[in-house]
Amino acid sequence: MTKITIPKFDPVFNTVIALGGTTTDYLLTNPVKDFVSTAFTIEFWMLANTNSTGTILSYTLTGEKSLVITNPSNINIYINNIQVAATNVSFVNTTTEIDEWHYFTLSWENTTGTLLLYKDGVLVYSSILAAMTTIQPGGSLVIGQLQGSPGGNMSSSFKGKLTQFRVWNNVRPAYNVEQDMNRNIYGDGMLVPWQLSSLDAEVNQIAGGWFMQNNTLQSILLAVVPQPYDGETYLIRSLNNGLTWEDPKPKPNNLYYNIAVQQQSNTVWASLNNSSYNTYNSYDGGTTWTNTYPASMMSINSAVPNLMVGIGTDSSLWAMVNGAPFAQLNADYKYSWVSALMPSVIYAVTTTNQLVFSTSGGKAGSFAPVANFTNPVKMVQTYNNIVAVLTLAGEVYISVDQRVTWKKLITDSMLDIAFINVINYELWAVTTSNLAFRTSVNMEMVINWQLNEGYGCFGFDYSGNDNNAYIYGCTTYNDEEAWEISTIIRSPQFIESNTDLIPYISSHVRKQLYLEEKAEAMGPIIGEGLMEKIAEEASVRARKVTRSRGTTTSRKATAAPKKAAAAPKKAAAKAAAKPAKKAATRSSSKKK
């Protein structure tokens, strides 16, 4: 195994779906299985014709505009018949009238109605739309048309090309959006990567959420440093979702024990550790603090609208309900941790490491064990529809259906986790060595259309949901009229990866041979079996090159494709001759 630099997604070497701008040019899935309802992220590569103002995507159950994305020149969005009329964001080149490829990403969640639009991985528009509404399941999804009825009455046709179309069932974090732009993703995306945060200090906990500032939604993250940071404070803050961190210079400067962010009132709550706890709050994101409740007898763990809840000095649950003074809420068990999903639904961990819950606001006698989760638990955290549990063994489990099912979080790295929190649809973890990591949670693909098959009547769904896209009007398995060779010229980002040398060399040789043959023929060659033949021959040639070189370093491995690609033209011609003949025969039979 040699560590080399490779592109995970090569947008140059793909076929793409091409839509001609008439009412018979579209992709259809009807009905869509397990479509999104309360949150989504939609992403795809798009090359829109400079004159196209048509509908890129429409989803409907009965003819309503449940989800519509239209007008590439000035993106318009409908969710549940509510419209963002003009974002002033264009995905076409209006200056030179040369068609350009761009990466489109749109996310939304219904709790706050937060709508985020990205262009080429960069956030370019945000708004509030259709808060507290739900997209109804069982509808029809069409790419390239506005539906007047499910799967019918098409209008507002889109002209352009698409590839790498994906729908996720939740809000994708910004760093994932940038990563997704340059990679293929197969499967449902449940294997998640841990990403080391940009924190340059050791921390022991992180809290955060969204709050309004100057009538604009803004993200806030607060982390507690277990020792003085720059000799001044025990608190650091990020106002750009963890991109950069700063010292808020809190006044007064204290040793913070637990912190929580309450979105409803734009308030940060903190507990200071002493014999009876002092409870402070801040309305400016952690700069100015007031000792609002001295000797409150509890440590704040969780804050949701109209409820602050924490652990009392006697290990019972204490809370502030609807602004009333802090008081004991529940003593059914002795508790070590508590988290409120909403004012009525509360999860807690007992001092015997049992996971319990209440659906009655935590009143006396309402807590019961979570019957289908018996692993010893250290901590539970909740956010929106997500419940995350950290076990004593250091494993993380997620439930998004109110405890009915649990999924173990499968990640690409093993971390020794001491603390977790769920913030804005991301799981944050702090290790026993006080390093902070983050990853997406509750993030499955509903649709994963690569749209690079190059033949046939379907864009196949790789998410596992069997939501294959039918190309309207396609009649034969070998139909290639809807498919075109991509003209994307954007270079993909490169990532470091451990991979075998042979496939790396082979892929580059294959592409080089294809480009040479295309140049000689003065046109694209889409002969049946051509690419497989060239790939096979390139692999053999690459193995010979590798054997002759012996063991190579990372730098030499990267340079290898140049020499490997310099294959005799006779060999390439021989590889192309037989498939090209088949293609010609098939073309002749079509004319007959």
pLDDT at 106 over 80: yes
Residue the block writes with tokens 């409820």: 307
Instruction: Say how many residues make up the chain.
Output: 592
* Confidence (pLDDT) at 232: 66
Highest mean pLDDT among 216-230, 372-386, 465-479: 372-386
Q: Is the pLDDT of residue 582 over 70?
A: no
- Paired with 279 in beta bridges are 271, 293
Q: 107, 144, 101: which is closest to 120 by C-alpha?
A: 101
Q: pLDDT tens for residues 8-67?
A: 444 444 678 889 899 999 999 999 999 999 999 999 999 998 888 899 999 999 989 999
Q: What is the C-alpha separation between 61 and 66, in angstroms, rounded?
A: 7
Please indicate whether residue 565 or residue 154 has the higher confidence score (pLDDT). Answer: 154
* pLDDT, greater one: 483 or 404: 404
> Is 9-190+444-495 in CATH node 2.20.25.90?
no
Strands of the sheet with 417-423, listed across from one edge: 195-196, 436-440, 426-431, 417-423
What value does the mean pLDDT take over residues 362-377? 95
pLDDT higher than threshold 70 for residue 464: yes
**From-to residues of CATH 2.130.10.30 in the chain:** 195-440
Question: Is the pLDDT assigned to residue 401 strictly greater than 50?
Answer: yes
- Collapse the DSSP code of 556 into the 3-class scheme (helix H, G, I; strand E, B; otherwise coil) and give the result: helix
In this structure, are residues 537 and 590 in contact, taking their beta carbons and an 8 Å threshold? no
Evaluate if residue 145 carries a pLDDT over 80.
yes
- Cβ pair 318, 298 in contact under 8 A: yes
**Interval 178-229: pLDDT, tens:** 878 877 665 555 556 777 888 888 899 999 887 766 666 678 899 998 876 6
Q: What is the pLDDT of residue 377?
A: 97
As a whole number of angstroms, the distance between CA 574 and CA 19 comes to 34
Q: Evaluate if residue 117 carries a pLDDT over 90.
A: yes
Q: How far apart are the first and last CA of the chain?
A: 52
Indicate the SS3 state at residue 123: strand
Q: Which residue has the higher pLDDT, 523 or 165?
A: 165
What whole-number distance in Å separates Cα of residue 447 and Cα of residue 361? 37
- How confident is the model at residue 511, as a pLDDT? 52
Question: Percent of the chain beyond pLDDT 70?
Answer: 71
pLDDT at residue 493 in the model: 35
Per-residue pLDDT at 537: 54
Token readout for 103 is: 């990466």
Looking at per-residue pLDDT, the higher value among 248 and 42 belongs to: 42
| Beta-sheet pairing, 495-499 with 2-6 | antiparallel
What's the rounded mean pLDDT across residues 164-181? 86
Segment 268-289 mean pLDDT:
83
- pLDDT bin (cut points 50, 70, 90) of residue 154 is very high
Residue 213 CA: distances (Å) to CA of 219, 239, 246, 270: 10, 11, 18, 20
Q: For residue range 403-459, what is the model confidence (pLDDT) as tens digits? A: 999 988 877 667 899 999 998 778 999 999 899 998 877 678 899 998 876 667 888
Give the whole-angstrom CA distance, residue 458 versus residue 98: 29
Report the chain's mean pLDDT, rounded to a whole number: 78
266 or 51, greater pLDDT: 51
All CATH 2.60.120.200 domain ranges of the chain, comma separated, are: 9-190+444-495
- pTM of the complete model: 0.58
Of the candidates 427, 369, 429, 377, the one whose C-alpha atom is nearest the C-alpha of residue 403 is 369
Q: Write the single-letter amino acid at 329.
A: L
CA–CA–CA angle 353, 359, 364 (5° rounding): 75
**Where are the extended beta strands (E) located within 366-454?**
368-369, 377-383, 386-391, 396-399, 407-408, 417-423, 426-431, 436-440, 445-449
CB neighbours of 90 closer than 8 A, spacing ≥ 6? 72, 73, 74, 75
**What one-character DSSP code corresponds to residue 343?**
S
Q: What's the whole-number mean pLDDT along residues 549-574?
A: 34
- CB under 8 A, 24+ apart: contacts of 586-590: 586/478, 586/528
Contact between 240 and 187 (Cβ < 8 Å): no
How many helices (H) and strands (E) would you count in the chain? 5, 43
Question: What's the pLDDT at 86?
Answer: 84
Which range has the top average pLDDT, 6-15, 466-475, 534-543?
Answer: 466-475
Nearest to 63 by CA among 146, 133, 143, 131: 146
In this structure, are strands 317-321 and 307-312 parallel, antiparallel, or unpaired?
A: antiparallel
Per-residue confidence at 361, pLDDT binned at 50, 70, 90?
A: very high
Hey, is 208 helix, strand or coil?
strand
CA 147/CA 137 separation, integer angstroms: 16
User: Residue 159: is its pLDDT beyond 90?
Assistant: yes
Closest CA to 195 of 378, 403, 437: 437
User: pLDDT band at residue 552, thresholds of 50, 70 and 90?
Assistant: very low
Question: Would you give the distance in Å from CA 451 to the centre of its chain?
Answer: 19
CATH 2.130.10.30, applies to 195-440? yes
Other CB atoms within a 10 A radius of the CB of residue 137 amount to: 14
**What integer pLDDT is reported at residue 140 of this predicted model?**
96
Residue 335 near residue 354, CB atoms below 8 Å: no
Burial of 176 (0-12, 13-18, 19+ CB in 10 A): buried
